[in-house]
Structure 1
Amino acid sequence: MTTQIAVRLPDAVVEYLDRSVAEGVGPSRAALVTSALERDMRRAAALRDAAILRERGTADDLDGLVAWSSADPQDVD
């Protein structure tokens, strides 16, 4: 589902969008704006994840499984 909204942008940003569409960077202004916002959403999620890792550390209950699964099969009893 999509929702149409009206957004006021500086002239320089609109010129950039139009130039990018003309150069084939994206199919439309909306597609370029959507792509930029999705990229920013991923960046924000990564920053939240990094903060959690700093707070809690990287060790978890799967470390043992990872060590076991990457061990040489001849070394596993």
Structure 2
Amino acid sequence: MSTQIAVRLPDELVAELDSIVSSGEEPSRASIVEQALLRELRRRAWVREVEVLTAKGSSYEDLQGLDGYLLRSLDTLD
């Protein structure tokens, strides 16, 4: 099941969406927006996991430094 929603986007973003769709890279504006939203939801889940790992620390020697690496990696996602 799906629900239709309406959003307002700047003309420049819509032009980019239309360019992607017209090139055949994606089938529709909706598919691009859906993928972007899913990526953002995954990123937020990842941030929560990193926060938990950072707060609790890790007793596993092979995971030492992973939290710092993940936090630095988040900067490259935006």
The TM-score with structure 2 as length reference comes to 0.72
Structure 1 segments of 4 or more deviating over 2 A?
Answer: none
2:21 is the alignment partner of 1:26: no
Structure-2 separation of matches of 1:30 and 1:41:
16
Q: Is there any run of 5+ residues in structure 1 with no aligned partner, and where? A: 61-77
Q: Residues 27-46 of structure 1 correspond to what in structure 2 (within 5 A)?
A: 27-46=27-46
Q: Tell me which residue corresponds to 1:57.
A: 57
Distance apart, 1:58 and its partner CA = 2.5
Structure-2 separation of matches of 1:41 and 1:12:
24
Q: Is there any run of 5+ residues in structure 2 with no aligned partner, and where? A: 61-78
How many aligned residue pairs are there? 60
Distance apart, 1:22 and its partner CA = 1.1
The two structures, once aligned, show a CA RMSD in angstroms of 1.2
Q: Tell me which residue corresponds to 2:7.
A: 7
**Which one-letter code corresponds to 2:31 in the other structure?**
A
Structure-2 separation of matches of 1:56 and 1:36:
30
The TM-score with structure 1 as length reference comes to 0.73
User: Secondary structure in 2 aligned to 1:43?
Assistant: helix
